[in-house]
Amino acid sequence: MTEVSYGVWDGVVYDSRDGTSSRRDSELPPLANFDVFDEHNRIRAFFGDRGFFIFDESVSLLDALWRQMVEAADQSCGKCTPCRMGTVLVRDALDALRRGERSRLGLADIEMLAEQMTATSMCGLGQTCARALLAALRSFREVIEAELARGPQPEQHGMAYMTAPCIEACPSRINVPRYIDYIRDGKPEHSLGVILQKYPMAATCGRVCVRFCEMACRRKFVDEAVGIKTLKRYVADQQSGPNALTFGRELISQPLGADMRVAVVGAGPAGVSCAYHLLLHGYHVDILEAMSEPGGMAAIGIPAYRLPKHVLHAETDIITELGGRFLFDRALGKDFSIDDLFARGYRAVFLAIGCQQGISLGVRDEDPTMPGYKSGIGFLLEVHDHVAKLRTIALHGEVIVVGGGNVAMDCARSALRMGAEKVHVVYRRTREDMPADSEEVEAAIAEGIVFHFLTNPVRVVSEDGRIVGVEVATMQQTAPDGQGRRNVAAVPGTERIMGCTTLIAAIGQQVRKGSLTTEDGIKFDRWNCVAVDTVDLSTSRPGVFAGGDCASGPSTLIHAMANGLKASRSIDDWIRLGHIAFQPRTRMRELLNDNRMLADDAVEVPVKPQYRVHHPELDPSVRKQMFEEVEQTISPEQAYREAKRCMRCYRTYSVITENAIANISNGA
């Protein structure tokens, strides 16, 4: 554990400068992973929205606090006087004092301004940026006065990092408050530009994202979380097509030499995202795809009533517009191998082959080849082909879907649209345990789908070689284990038969067998996923990287696109440098996450309650008969109103280090 010399955190004062173990108020909190910032570069101090820690007594508080306020002043939106003026006045005063010059503002004036900013600013940045300063002035004023007496302070190394709970919750770390600010300012095209810096599929994500950002939104402490996903869709739908392409081209770097070629295997969200960012870096990229269209699971696994295919294809078209190539009907393990790709001159390979093979239920008398039995992913592929008019598929009678994730919800809602008389969802745990998006569950219930919670299949029932039902048992929750998690166990004597004509097993997917062989030199983990280094997504074979579902197991679209971005950076480093470069901003996130630094606290400054805007939707009685898109885009007036609900919960963090931080200009 890193030893703290002195500091204040959450109002608790720590002081061990006399060399003893005494503390003013309590024992020091455990601080994990705080020894060095980058290689052989000791962390000397840390400052945040809840206080500060000094690990080296020789650190200049004045200089460190000035650095913290420089970031706050640079990031202030300027819409309220306390933050707009206060951050600049305090920054300049601290700057003069640290350089040993006279300042119009003394320590008492600085403290007063810091108090006013904290109490009256309109957003989270102004309300929290001066907390460390106030803590230092109130608890360790003598340290600052001693520095003033010594004169100019020495220059210190370090970096500042601004973030927010919604940013940290997003796998792609998109600057959510910033793109909402642009909506509020009437600049949706600038808002789209913020999104395109992280991923190309804004309209797609605005429809199917599972909203980790909204789960972290602090507005929920007032009324409801800001409709971040709703606003993303609004921006994407307003600025799609040529406007999106214009912004993409503005981001592109100078094209590299003809030999700077990268192969991306798989045209799903991870592959498209990786190719997009590599193209922006100037690489020549080919995407090899086993299907005849791009999109991967977004194309075949998300029904048209959630994601119209013209929306998806309009966004994947940016790859060809930026100079990339799609090579369709090329399956890894069948039409080419990894060795073939390197033999063709590709400098690196990114595997984004997904998990497109279903997992069996593992119950008695189960036969995946039996008529009436379908895997979740197999059924959604049939639905895709039906909607695309490639073949005609129709259901009849009652359908049972086993599973509790989004794939299960898509299967159930699609089955209803394919002609099923009644659809049942069987899930072994409670509704609260379901991994599916709660909005998807609500939509399924509204459409008349019947849920059977704490119910588990134990046997497949068939007659004359065709499924006619499923034997299920009632489950009950067990006592919590050491981590507080409750498992489930079957209740003896509760077995019963549920009749059906179709059984859809939607409990998970895996990498398609045969895609990779031992000759490829790619290792798998114990979950039968491609084994990768979580830091850079490299595999066991040099020059080959992997991401998305094939590396993590079935996950979300936003996770896949985040993997694509990470892989593109790693591939760029691998080709240009021969190693993976240090990412300072990623290291700051590690400090925050490992020590739970980002507070999930209640809102202190009064905020007027105003409930969120919701998507207009087709009526359930109408929509369950068709594959037309259920949710509609909100109006500009609604978007403005929703954007105003954002409280801009920015937080500023900074470190002081012994030496200059490697790759400090990297914006990763």
Render 535-548 in DSSP notation, one character per residue: TT-B-SSTTEEE-T
Q: Are residue 260 and residue 326 in the same domain, yes or no? A: yes
Beta-bridge partner residues of 46: 53, 655
Are 144 and 137 in contact, with CB atoms under 8 Å apart?
Answer: yes
Helices (H), 121-211: 124-128, 131-139, 141-150, 165-169, 176-184, 188-196, 202-208
Tally of CB atoms within 10 A around 586? 14
Q: Is 531 helix (H, G, I), strand (E, B) or coil?
A: coil
pLDDT at 586: 94
Q: Are residue 147 and residue 191 in the same domain, yes or no? A: no
CB burial of residue 430 (10 Å; 0-12, 13-18, 19+)? middle
CB burial of residue 200 (10 Å; 0-12, 13-18, 19+)? buried
Q: Which range of residues forms the domain containing residue 15?
A: 6-164+649-657
Asked if the structure places residue 611 within a domain, the reply is no
Q: Are residue 486 and residue 376 in the same domain, yes or no? A: yes
pLDDT at 619: 74
Asked if the structure places residue 404 within a domain, the reply is yes
Question: Phi first, then psi: what are they for 57, rounded to 5°?
Answer: -60, -20
Round to whole Å and give the CA distance between 5 and 652.
22
Q: Are residue 382 and residue 294 in the same domain, yes or no? A: no
Asked if the structure places residue 259 within a domain, the reply is yes
Asked if the structure places residue 624 within a domain, the reply is no
Q: Are residue 12 and residue 150 in the same domain, yes or no? A: yes
Q: Are residue 455 and residue 492 in the same domain, yes or no? A: yes
Residue 15's domain is classified under what CATH number?
1.20.1440.230
Q: Last residue of some domain: 507, 524, 545?
A: 507
> Residues near 321 by Cβ (< 8 Å), separated by ≥ 6?
245, 248
pLDDT at 592: 94
498 membership: H or E segment, kind and range: strand 496-499
Q: Are residue 476 and residue 536 in the same domain, yes or no? A: no
How many domains does the chain divide into?
Answer: 4
Asked if the structure places residue 633 within a domain, the reply is no
Token duo for residue 207: 């429809």
Q: Are residue 10 and residue 156 in the same domain, yes or no? A: yes
Are 220 and 649 in contact, with CB atoms under 8 Å apart?
Answer: no
Condensed to tens digits (0 to 9), the pLDDT of residues 102-127 reads: 889 999 999 999 999 999 998 889 99
Condensed to tens digits (0 to 9), the pLDDT of residues 362-373 reads: 999 999 999 999
Q: Are residue 527 and residue 435 in the same domain, yes or no? A: no
Q: Are residue 110 and residue 123 in the same domain, yes or no? A: yes
Q: Last residue of some domain: 507, 532, 559?
A: 507
Round to whole Å and give the CA distance between 668 and 574.
16
| Nearest CA among 400, 445, 460, 454 for reference residue 427 | 454
Beta-bridge partner residues of 470: 460, 498
Round to whole Å and give the CA distance between 595 and 2.
12
| Nearest CA among 323, 246, 314 for reference residue 282 | 323
Asked if the structure places residue 445 within a domain, the reply is yes
Residue 455's domain is classified under what CATH number?
3.50.50.60
Spans of the chain below 50 pLDDT? 21, 25, 242
Q: Are residue 215 and residue 276 in the same domain, yes or no? A: no
pLDDT at 242: 47
Evaluate if pTM is beyond 0.85: yes
The Cα-based distances of 289 to 92, 327, 356, 513 in angstroms read: 56, 6, 13, 16
Asked if the structure places residue 641 within a domain, the reply is no
Q: Last residue of some domain: 579, 605, 639?
A: 579
CA 41 from chain centre, in angstroms, equals 29
Asked if the structure places residue 667 within a domain, the reply is no
> Residues near 187 by Cβ (< 8 Å), separated by ≥ 6?
none
Q: Is 593 helix (H, G, I), strand (E, B) or coil?
A: helix
Q: Are residue 154 and residue 11 in the same domain, yes or no? A: yes
